Every structure is written in structure tokens, then in C-alpha cells.
Amino acid sequence: MTDRVDSADQASDSEAGSELSARFAVPEMDCPSCAQKVDKSLQRVDGVVETALQPTTGTATVTYDPERTAEADVVAVIEGAGYEVTGSGNGFEGGADSGMSIAPPSEIWTSSRAIKTWVGAGFLVFGLLFEFVLTEQNVDIATILSSPLGLSDGLFLVAIAVSGSPVVRSGYYSARNLSLDIDLLMGTAIIAATGIGYFVEAATLAVLFSIAELLEDYAMDRARNSLRELMELSPDEATVRRDGEEVTVPTEDVAVGETVVVRPGEKIPLDGTVLDGESAVDESPITGESVPVDKSDGAEVYAGSLTEEGYLEVEVTSKAGDSTLSRIIEMVQVAQENKTDQEQFVDRFSGYYTPLIVGLAILTAAVPPLALGWPWETWFVRGLTLLVIACPCAFVISTPVSVVSGITSAAKNGVLIKGGNHLEAMGAVDVVALDKTGTLTKGELTVTRIVPLGDHTETEVLRYGAGLERRSEHPIAEAILARTDKAGLTDLPTPSEFESLTGKGIRAEIDGETYYAGKPALFEELGFDLSRTRGVTDGGAIPDGVPRRNSSGREVFDTNVLTELQDEGQTVVLVGTETELIGAVAVADEVRPTSQRAVERLHECGVDHVVMLTGDNEGTARAIAEQVGVDEYRAGLLPDEKVAAIEELQAVHGDVAMVGDGINDAPALVTADVGIAMGAAGTDTALETADIALMGDDVGKLPYLYRLSRTANDVVRQNIWTSLGVKALLAVGVPLGYVSVALAVVVGDMGMSLGVTGNAMRLSRLKPSDDR
């Protein structure tokens, strides 16, 4: 019936070397009670070691001992619980080689269940027509146990047999598995109503409940679509250059080190490094950023990214199952297994709710007729109605469908949330703590300002500075040389006798004269009195209060500028000889353009306190803090001191989310209630250690994450309490005669299940662009 699962992640050796894992597509298993029924059946099988059932994806992963049971036996048990297995291993989306699997789309409206429902509905409509409208034509057609059977009754019985048979069949499997679920309740109600001659109620219940099930299947399939879209981002095939020829092969057959060819408009099939070619690449499937990134020789690229105009040859650096996109997909799958506190509450509550309402239904049907002599017919129907209300489906699915919607929506926008519990926790944080370097700033030094002295020009300052730094490997040198390249300067002087002055700067010979580049302290050692350094025009000193400009009108460097730059948290590199200062180059870790707006939006969204934690010095920390607008900053912190700061913030303010690079900040990320890693697309450590990962280097995604989490928590609460409130209102109305069987099915079961699913789908409409 199904294919054997042979891949590494589907069939794996246990410690004893004998256990296998198989993954099956079970699309009809779409609610927690369905999964519970399958789980009970599997637990009774000798040889089944472990089960992982995912109703949100319609999949079941079973670990078993092949010496005691076979895969075919596992399939038989699942189908014996009433759920068809439609695929296994490579037989469905995700399959054996993918980190994630999901049941294929169902032909819901043309399935055998749907056809039976429509046929039954037709007979029900004609039955109601003869029962209440064409009463004169409602002739007797048979007699059963001395009771006449009218034409309408015959039509109702056909409707019950056609539409009710799948319900009764599922109820039988539930009873066999001792599972008190909706199928058992509805099947019992249909049989009981039919048995005592309440054909109208039985037929109405069978048809309406079947329609409700179809609608719920459709809603769940829509929810699964978001997961399917995530999986479809990764190409199935790659064009590989082998022995001088280009061949197209499945991506799982491409080895690390091989070269794949990607033409304009094609998706990059595997993670790798560009060997040749140039192209703008849309990396939004990974980072969530819509602006294409230019890629050329040596650049990293990710599977699922889309080339726009250029041609690329890429050396593969990871296999299909190990790509960044595959890890994201797999983590989204695993995230569904981490239940939120609200989901755990729902599971516990539903265990009491259903037996309680079933008990009330029995008492409602039996006590008034027996104790008070009231009519059996009326109170039996009311008891039957309470049985319908006893179904907790809408209540039970209210949380998982919201969590899946939120997590998959976030993944498609470049935010990886590794569990529903983390989604819930993020929406409840009171404080967001931000690392400075690489989070609020770019983490790369940049030349921010060039200040010439005297009659020297910015170009001269940059030329001599870059000439001196050509042989240096310091990050400041890289920043100055990058600025030189950007300015298009190519005629740089060639230094000789290069010497690094540790902790101070550098020295070299240029055209027979010694030049220096370094800290202000270096030039003070050379004899410069920086406190009296002034620019000069026409041979005279510039008096206080007069703008400091040279003869060309350019800004003249003085100690006021030096102090200003240092107060802004910038590093100042002076350039000159032993007798003359040429100018200064200011270098800083530039603040991300989105940082200030992100902090502002966090406040607007409801975060009480935003704090910056950094190991940098006080001056730099103060300047960055003032620029981005955080409420508080703490400077000079070592990793263990960041942990202490997080603990202090938790004690004073409440729940804390920590945002860092996922490596240096790992202890603080673990200590915080929610750990968020920045720029995790190419960082295995960040993907593994953080609770939430921002795949791109965009701190601007934080407000979106917080807003999504808050909205998800609101949606879950709305779903839980609305479904409970409606059920309670209907339950109160039943004994009073205000609620019919049809109303209980349409509103209490079908309506609420569709309502909570539709409400959860709202999360997919939230976009990061709303917070820009």
C-alpha cells in the first residue's frame, strides 16, 4: 500500500541498531481528538516504540522495531482507527528527504464523503418537503413493528444511511479505541434517534454534521496551505556540471563540492558559494527582505533564493537536507510540538468538559420524563442536542490552528519561531534588551567623516591614510580602504619601512618622509599640543566664535571637532607627519537605518522598557543610546554581566526578550524569557540556540514579531473564550427549548470550528512592512 521509507531522516538506527522511523500522510487526521484515537491504537501494537502525530499537517511519524512489527502493520492499525493512509516516505510532500512533511491537498468537495453528503442532503430536503409542505402526498409506503412508515420517513432513512454511515463508522472506531470524541457522540446520537423513530432529527444531524466535517476539512486544508507554500520554495531539481556537461538531477543527488548552474529567473537549488557570474538575488524566502541582494564571486547564496537577471555558477556547500531553508522548514515542523500554556490548559479542560456535558445530556433525556412525567420525545431531543454541544472540536483546535498560522506566517517573512510556547512568551514580554554591536549597529566599521586640517583636502587625508593602512589588517584599515574604493581613488602612495605601533597606530615611509596614522595620543607623543591645534587663514589664528574654515572654505579640524566626534562614540584616526597634521578620519560602527524606528515602534506597540546592553565603552554606548532612543543603556558588560543584567531586569520589570548575535550573547539569550538571534541565515549556532531567529540582519523585524505574537495571543484567547461562551449559551438554551439539533450543529460545531480557523488565518495578513 505504501512505499518503504529508506532515507536517513525517515529510517534510522537506534542505539540497538534495530529501530526504524516511518512517516505517513493521514489527511483525515485533522484534530487533536483524531490524533488521540490513532495514538491509542498505535500504543497497543507490540513493537511500536514512539509516535509523533501532527493533526495540523496530517502526518504521523512512528518509530517501531521491525523484528516485532512491520510498516504494513502500522498502516493497518492507523486505517483500523478510521483514517486512510494516503502516502508514506516519498509518497507525499516533504517525504523522506525533507525535514518537513505534510499531507497532500485533499479533493474535499469531490471526495466520496462529500458525494455521500450531497446525496443525503438531497434526500433530506425532499423528506422535509413531504413532511411539512406536501403533506397530502406524504403517503405510507411501509409498516415497521406495527408503525406506519411515510414517504418522508423513507427519504429521511435514505439520508441517514447515506450521510450518516461515515459518521457511525467513525464512531465505531472511537468506541473500539475507548475514545469519547465527536464521532462517537454524533454516531451514538444518530443511531439512538433513528432507533426510536426520530427520523427528522437523525437525518438532519447526519447531513449537517457531514457538511460541518467537510467545511472543517476545507478550513484545515487552507491552514495547511501555508505550510505547503513554505515547502514549495525549495527546488526539486538542480542543473549540475559533470564531466564538462550540464545534467539535471534531483537536488538530493547533488554532492557537496559539485558546481550547479543557475540561469536568470531560476531558483538556487542548494546552499553554496558563487564561483562565477553576477546576479541580483531575491533572498526573501530566507531573510524576508524584498530588496534583491547583488551576488558575485565568493558570495554565499541560499537554496530557495531566486536569481533575477544574471547567471551564476555555485559551488555546493551543503546537501539538500542540510540547507538553511531545509533547517527552517524542519524547525517549523518541530515548533508545532511545543505546546503553549493556553494549549495545555485547553487539553486539560477538554478532558473534563466532554464527560460533563455527556452526563448532563443523559440526565436531561432521562430525569424530566422519569421524575416529573414530562414527555419523553421532547426531552430525548434535548438530550440529543446536548450530545452535539458536548463536542469540544472548536475549543480544542482554537489554539493549535492559531499557533501554526502565526509560525508559518512569520517564517515566510524571515522570522523563525521555534515553538508555540516562544510565540506566546514573546507576546507577553515587558522588556526588550538589545545588544549593540551587530544588532542596533551594523557590526562593521565605516568611515563616517573626513576632516582636513589647514589647506589640505579630504582627498589628501584619505590618500595618505589609505596609503599607510594598505599593509595593516586592522578593521579600521579595512574601513578606510573601503572608503577609498568607494571614492574611486587608485593613485595611492606606496609605503615602505612599514611598522605597527601596537595600541597606538602605524608608521611608514612615503616619498622619503615618515608618516603616521593613529590615535590622538600617538601625535601627542610626537610633540603635538592638540589643545592648541587650530586651523589658520591668512596667517592668523581663528578667534573664538568665528566659524573654523580654511582659505577654501572647508571645515578646519580642531579639538572641538575631536571632542565632538569622540562624544558621538566615533574612533578618530589622525594622519600626519612628525611636523604637520594633515587631518583626521572618523570611524564608527554605523547604526542601522532601521534601529531608531524599531525602538520607536516597540514603544508604540506596548513594550514598556527598551534597554541596550553592550560591552563597549561608556561614551560610545551613550551616543548610540541617544541616537536610537532606548530607555536605558548599560555599558562595559562582559557576557556574565549581561546575564546578571537580564536577571535584574526580570526582577524589576517582568518578562525579558534578549536580542543578540546568537554566539557572544548566548548566555544572555538563554537566561532571557525569549532569546532572539539576529542575522541567523548563515549561522548554525544562532539557529540552534535561539528561541526565535531573525533570518536577515534587520532589527526592524522586531516590532513585527512583537505585534504578531501579541495578536496571536489575542486570537487564541478570543477563540477559546468565544467557543466556550457559545457552547455555554447553547447548553443553557437547550433545557429551555430554545436550541434545536440543527442550531447546535450549525452554530455550536460547524460555525465555531470555521470561526476559530478563520480568526486564526488573520495572522497571515500581518506584514513587517506595516511597521516601517
pLDDT at 703 over 80: yes
- For residues 634 and 571, the model is more confident at 634
Residue of 39, 183, 282, 435 marked active site: 435
| Rounded distance between C-alpha atoms, residue 324 and residue 244, angstroms | 29
Which of 57-71, 279-293, 593-607, 693-707 is predicted least confidently?
A: 279-293
Q: What is the mean pLDDT of residues 402-419?
A: 84
Using a pLDDT cut of 70, give the percent of the chain over it. Answer: 87
| Rounded distance between C-alpha atoms, residue 44 and residue 177, angstroms | 10
Strands (E), 536-690: 536-537, 540-541, 571-577, 581-591, 609-613, 632-634, 656-660, 674-678
pLDDT at 641 over 50: yes
Q: Give pLDDT tens digits for 432-476.
A: 999 888 888 887 888 988 988 888 899 999 999 999 988 787 788
Q: Could you tell me if 324 and 696 are in contact, meaning their C-beta atoms sit under 8 angstroms apart?
A: no
pLDDT at 226 over 70: no
Strands (E), 390-532: 415-417, 431-435, 441-452, 496-501, 505-510, 513-518
Which of 287-301, 516-530, 554-568 is predicted least confidently?
A: 554-568
- For residues 615 and 423, the model is more confident at 423
* Grid cell locating 404: 501554526
Query: Quick one: pLDDT band at residue 16, thresholds 50, 70, 90?
Result: very low
Residue 281 parent element (H or E): strand 272-282
The alpha carbon dihedral of 38, 39, 44, 47 has a sign of positive
Q: What is the mean pLDDT of residues 130-137?
A: 86
* Grid cell locating 745: 450543529
Which of 30-44, 259-273, 448-462 is predicted least confidently?
A: 30-44
pLDDT at 551 over 50: no
pLDDT at 14 over 50: no
Which of 193-202, 221-230, 288-297 is predicted least confidently?
A: 221-230
Whole-model pTM?
Answer: 0.68
Q: What is the mean pLDDT of residues 166-181?
A: 83
pLDDT of residue 416: 84
Query: Quick one: pLDDT band at residue 706, thresholds 50, 70, 90?
Result: very high
Residue 622 parent element (H or E): helix 618-628
pLDDT of residue 462: 92
pLDDT of residue 129: 92
Q: Give pLDDT tens digits for 328-380.
A: 777 666 665 666 677 777 777 777 877 888 888 889 889 999 988 898 888 88
Report which residue type is found at 192.
A
- For residues 536 and 258, the model is more confident at 258
pLDDT of residue 538: 32
Q: In this structure, how many other beta carbons lie within 10 angstroms of the beta carbon of residue 61?
A: 18
Q: What is the mean pLDDT of residues 13-35?
A: 73
| Rounded distance between C-alpha atoms, residue 381 and residue 202, angstroms | 10
pLDDT mean across residues, the chain: 81
- For residues 541 and 366, the model is more confident at 366
Q: What is the mean pLDDT of residues 611-632?
A: 88
pLDDT of residue 143: 78
pLDDT at 533 over 70: no
Which of 101-115, 481-495, 682-696 is predicted least confidently?
A: 682-696
- For residues 353 and 134, the model is more confident at 134
Which of 101-115, 406-420, 694-708 is predicted least confidently?
A: 101-115
- For residues 114 and 56, the model is more confident at 114
pLDDT at 631 over 90: yes
> For this structure, is 616 an active site residue?
no
Query: Quick one: pLDDT band at residue 1, thresholds 50, 70, 90?
Result: very low
Q: What is the mean pLDDT of residues 220-246?
A: 79
pLDDT of residue 317: 92
pLDDT of residue 430: 94
Q: What is the mean pLDDT of residues 237-263?
A: 91
pLDDT of residue 84: 83
Smallest CA-to-CA distance from 713 within 648, 760, 650 is with 760
Q: What is the mean pLDDT of residues 289-313?
A: 84
Q: What is the mean pLDDT of residues 731-752?
A: 84
Q: What is the mean pLDDT of residues 268-282?
A: 90
pLDDT at 689 over 80: no
User: Distance from first CA to last CA of the chain, Å, rounded?
Assistant: 52
- For residues 91 and 727, the model is more confident at 727
Q: What is the mean pLDDT of residues 483-510?
A: 86
Q: Could you tell me if 731 and 389 are in contact, meaning their C-beta atoms sit under 8 angstroms apart?
A: yes
| Rounded distance between C-alpha atoms, residue 194 and residue 192, angstroms | 5
**602 in helix, strand or coil?**
helix
Q: In this structure, how many other beta carbons lie within 10 angstroms of the beta carbon of residue 228?
A: 18
Rounded to the nearest 10 degrees, what angle do helices 376-389 and 199-231 cross at?
Answer: 10
Q: CA angle 479-482-486, nearest 5°?
A: 140
pLDDT at 545 over 80: no
| Rounded distance between C-alpha atoms, residue 341 and residue 407, angstroms | 16
